[in-house]
Amino acid sequence: QVQLGESGGGLVQAGGSLRLSCTASGRTFGNYFMGWFRQAPGKEREFVARIKWSDGVTNYADSVKGRFTISRDNAENTVYLQMNSLKPEDTAVYYCARKLALASRYDSWGRGTQVTVSS
């Protein structure tokens, strides 16, 4: 079981930017997908973005496409989520997660970092 720790959340004005980081300990990210998810109070957790560790291919939810960028640093076992043009509806707890490349679900999760976007 890999341990994941998120950082970089905070309070930002609409239109501003934040960069979230997720660092893994215990295992490498090879042959995995790393994903970002978010959950607002009273709402279900939703997919935000993912990256295929082996080749860097990315996928984004329509709601963040063109505004968010997911990237990786293999040497540091770290995944980033650069968030630009933030909107109040982006307010949520953001989680990073790991999925085996051939698995159907994510099996390791971080504890989350709060992102709050004010008007």
| pLDDT given for residue 88 in this prediction | 97
Considering only CA atoms, which of 18, 28, 15 is closest in space to residue 73? 28
pLDDT confidence bin for 94, thresholds 50/70/90: very high
Q: What is the DSSP letter of 29?
A: -
Measured at the CA of 94, the angle between CA 90 and CA 100, to 5 degrees, comes to: 125
| pLDDT given for residue 30 in this prediction | 67
pLDDT confidence bin for 28, thresholds 50/70/90: low
* Three-class secondary structure of residue 7 per DSSP: strand
Mean pLDDT of 74-99: 95
User: Please, what's the b/e burial string for 75-99 (b: 16 or more CB within 10 A of its CB; e: otherwise)?
Assistant: eebbbbbebeebeeebbbbbbbbbb
Number of Cα atoms under 13 Å in the Cβ half of residue 16: 15
Q: Is the pLDDT of residue 101 over 70?
A: yes
| pLDDT given for residue 75 in this prediction | 82
Percentage of residues in the chain having pLDDT higher than 90: 81
* Per-residue pLDDT reduced to its tens digit, 29-68: 568 899 999 999 999 999 999 999 989 999 999 999 999 9
Mean pLDDT of 4-23: 97
